[in-house]
């Protein structure tokens, strides 16, 4: 396919073609699953979290979604590993995902929002499980 046919940069294509951290974590400490009303895509993020430091030690995703959703959740799982839930709540947004991907077409920004929402749902799940 000629370059001119794609709206996506190389980094987005790389995360779409070779997604990082795809799958489920067995005995996850937190699971977040959300759907996008506009397109019907679904995203699930599962996390392993160190209880003493509240740091994400592993993150995986599954998506029934478009290529940008795959690329955004692949990048999101890479970006959140090693960070605490407090940092993620205060200093992490879909903009960080888009920036790390080197940009997404405007019509695909909501795919990064979906990844961020799945993360937030997982963080809420963790807090509910731990009573914090
Ligand atoms: Fe809806 Fe990508 S088109 S998540």
Q: Is the distance from CB of 85 to CB of 123 less than 8 angstroms?
A: yes
Q: Above 70 in pLDDT, residue 43?
A: yes
| CA 110–ligand 1 middle distance (angstroms) | 6
Residues 6 or more apart in contact with residue 25 via CB below 8 angstroms: 46, 47, 48, 58, 59, 60
What confidence category does residue 121 fall into, taking pLDDT thresholds of 50, 70 and 90? very high
How many whole angstroms from 24 Cα to the centroid of ligand 1? 20
* Predicted structure pTM score: 0.94
Q: In this predicted model, what pLDDT tens digit does every residue of 15-42 receive, in sequence order? A: 999 999 999 999 999 999 999 988 999 9
Give the residue, by CA position, lying nearest to ligand 1 atom 1: 39
List of E strands, 28-89: 30-35, 42-50, 55-64
* Residues sharing a CB contact under 8 Å with residue 3, sequence separation 6 or more, in sequence order: none
């Amino acid at each position: 396919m000629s370059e001119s046919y794609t709206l996506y940069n190389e980094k987005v294509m790389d995360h779409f073609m070779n997604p990082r951290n795809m799958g489920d974590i067995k005995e996850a400490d937190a699971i977040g699953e959300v759907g996008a009303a506009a397109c019907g895509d679904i995203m699930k993020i599962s996390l392993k979290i160190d209880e003493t430091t509240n740091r994400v030690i592993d993150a995986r995703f599954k998506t029934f979604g478009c290529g940008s959703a795959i690329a955004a959740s692949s990048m999101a799982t890479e970006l959140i590993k090693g960070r605490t839930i407090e940092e993620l709540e205060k200093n992490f947004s879909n903009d960080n995902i888009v920036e790390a991907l080197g940009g997404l077409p405007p019509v695909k920004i909501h795919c990064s929002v979906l990844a961020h929402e799945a993360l937030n749902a997982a963080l809420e799940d963790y807090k509910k499980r731990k009573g914090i």
